[in-house]
Structure 1
């Protein structure tokens, strides 16, 4: 038996709150580290981490408001399941738009990190940017289509195809970038005198961060294809997961490498911090 819409929303809110607490804790650790840095590590990473936190916070607030409306304020006029099935609700549209924005920011970080790590190659940047633009177009077109459909029963196959395309593009971007980054580190470091072991921590960070984010997107894609309402639970937890992944990359590289300054860190290590 499938999970009801209201149960999926409550589960999503619970998990989102839990993961948001993890993200907030990691953000403060990251903030302390980045405030001691100079150059791009402070000028770019600090605003990006703060922006991710702001989006995740706004998304969590919207989900709390939706829960209050469905289970408290409008409980006598509309059922909770029917409330969450109304895709035309301004709160649903805003919440979904924030989730897509957070996902696009994560994809942009992935593309930029892959571009830097691969010697700023246009062969990496151009396909990545094309896929990123396609994600923006399909993502927000999908939100608009859902808001016009209003009810789950009136969602057209074209709308489903648009949503599936967005999820698939995000999945492909994450997996491809992770593979390219790992291969670049392996090819560059394994034949050097100090050996690959000296750079193993960075290699592990690249794999772990990519796997964590890719797994969450894969779960979203699978729940979407099987038609489970658990996809809405996954939508709720994507924003904090993006922030957690971003902060973990910075923290892991900092502690594994020993907190070297940007001038002392190899080019590949600097690339993996973003």
Structure 2
């Protein structure tokens, strides 16, 4: 038996409050970290994180007001189940619009990260912007359709398109970022120490968000009222994902930034018949092979795009 609509609303509000508390705590930690940074980290990431917090706060306030309306003020006249079934109410439309805005903003940051890490390739930016435009249009179309007296028949098709493209853009951008990190560090033996933490951050952050959207999509397709739980939970999860990426990359997921930046490291090039090279004062003959050229080429591209363990979110 499925969960009743009124109980789903209460469970969603409880979980949203819980996750919002986590998001708020992580936001202040992230703000403390970013205030020590310079350049793009302060100019872009602080406003984006603050806007995500404002939207999540507004969404939580709306859900509290809706709960008061359903269970206190209109409990004897309309009933909680009938109240939440009315998707055309102004508060319900505002809540849905905030959710869509939060999702578009977060996915826009993901596309921007992917674009910067891939050396500002226009193809990545164009494809990402096209997908954002399509699912953003479908999302706001759903809000407009629900505002009508009789929602249009293709409204639920637009909802499915919105959820599917949201998950698609998260998974595809995360995969592209992870692949770029792998290609940059695969020929650097000592780079493994910084490659694994950053790779884990990228994969875990994308998996957290994509799993939430997948649960929402499955609940919608099966007609379960659990979709209303996920609709209220995802806005703070978006902010949590954003903050975790910044914090985990800053602290190197168990490593200290100062440990990596305090002392220079040599790059070991192990080849057949070639001695290991490091920063010694003795003259050493190094035979250049095709693999060495690939290493140097990837290093130069990584340097130009500032792709290191700290710069994965700094981009």
Which of the five TM-score ranges fits, normalised by the shorter chain? over 0.9
Q: Does 1:191 align with 2:187?
A: yes
In the aligned structure 1, how far is the partner of 2:206 from the partner of 2:314? 13
In the aligned structure 1, how far is the partner of 2:106 from the partner of 2:63? 21
Q: Which has the higher contact order (CA 8 A, sep 6+)?
A: 1
1:271 — aligned with what? 312
2:256 — aligned with what? 258
Please tell me whether the aligned partners of residues 34 and 42 of structure 2 are also in contact (alpha carbons under 8 angstroms): yes
In the aligned structure 1, how far is the partner of 2:8 from the partner of 2:23? 22
In the aligned structure 1, how far is the partner of 2:154 from the partner of 2:18? 34
Equivalences, count: 268
Q: Does 1:35 align with 2:35?
A: yes
CA shift, 1:192, in A, is: 2.0
Please tell me whether the aligned partners of residues 198 and 312 of structure 2 are also in contact (alpha carbons under 8 angstroms): no
1:181 — aligned with what? 177
In the aligned structure 1, how far is the partner of 2:45 from the partner of 2:194? 25
Q: Which one is further off, 119-128 or 237-246?
A: 119-128
In the aligned structure 2, how far is the partner of 1:88 from the partner of 1:114? 37
2:89 — aligned with what? 89
Paired residue secondary structure (2:72): helix
1:56 — aligned with what? 56
Please tell me whether the aligned partners of residues 201 and 248 of structure 2 are also in contact (alpha carbons under 8 angstroms): yes
Paired residue secondary structure (1:246): helix
Please tell me whether the aligned partners of residues 59 and 95 of structure 1 are also in contact (alpha carbons under 8 angstroms): yes
Query: Which ranges in structure 1 are unaligned for 5 or more consecutive residues?
Result: none
Please tell me whether the aligned partners of residues 206 and 272 of structure 1 are also in contact (alpha carbons under 8 angstroms): no
2:135 — aligned with what? 135
Paired residue secondary structure (1:148): coil
Q: Which one is further off, 190-199 or 242-251?
A: 190-199
Please tell me whether the aligned partners of residues 142 and 162 of structure 1 are also in contact (alpha carbons under 8 angstroms): yes
Query: Which ranges in structure 2 are unaligned for 5 or more consecutive residues?
Result: 263-301
What RMSD, in angstroms, separates the aligned Cα atoms of the two structures? 1.8
Q: What pairs up with 1:5-154 in 2 under 5 angstroms?
A: 5-149=5-149
- Deviations along 1:161-197, whole A, 9 cap, x unmatched? 0000000110100000111111111011011242433
Q: Does 1:159 align with 2:155?
A: yes
Paired residue secondary structure (2:154): helix
CA shift, 1:268, in A, is: 2.0
In the aligned structure 2, how far is the partner of 1:271 from the partner of 1:252? 11
CA shift, 1:145, in A, is: 1.0
1:205 — aligned with what? 201
- Deviations along 1:7-32, whole A, 9 cap, x unmatched? 11111100000000000000010111
Please give the TM-score of this superposition, normalised by the length of structure 1: 0.93
Paired residue secondary structure (1:75): coil
Please tell me whether the aligned partners of residues 112 and 125 of structure 2 are also in contact (alpha carbons under 8 angstroms): yes
In the aligned structure 2, how far is the partner of 1:118 from the partner of 1:99? 29
Please tell me whether the aligned partners of residues 70 and 83 of structure 1 are also in contact (alpha carbons under 8 angstroms): yes
CA shift, 1:157, in A, is: 4.0
Please tell me whether the aligned partners of residues 249 and 312 of structure 2 are also in contact (alpha carbons under 8 angstroms): no
CA spacing shift, 1:273–1:15, aligned 2, 3 Å: farther
In the aligned structure 2, how far is the partner of 1:86 from the partner of 1:120? 45
CA shift, 1:56, in A, is: 0.2
Larger CA Rg, structure 1 vs 2:
2
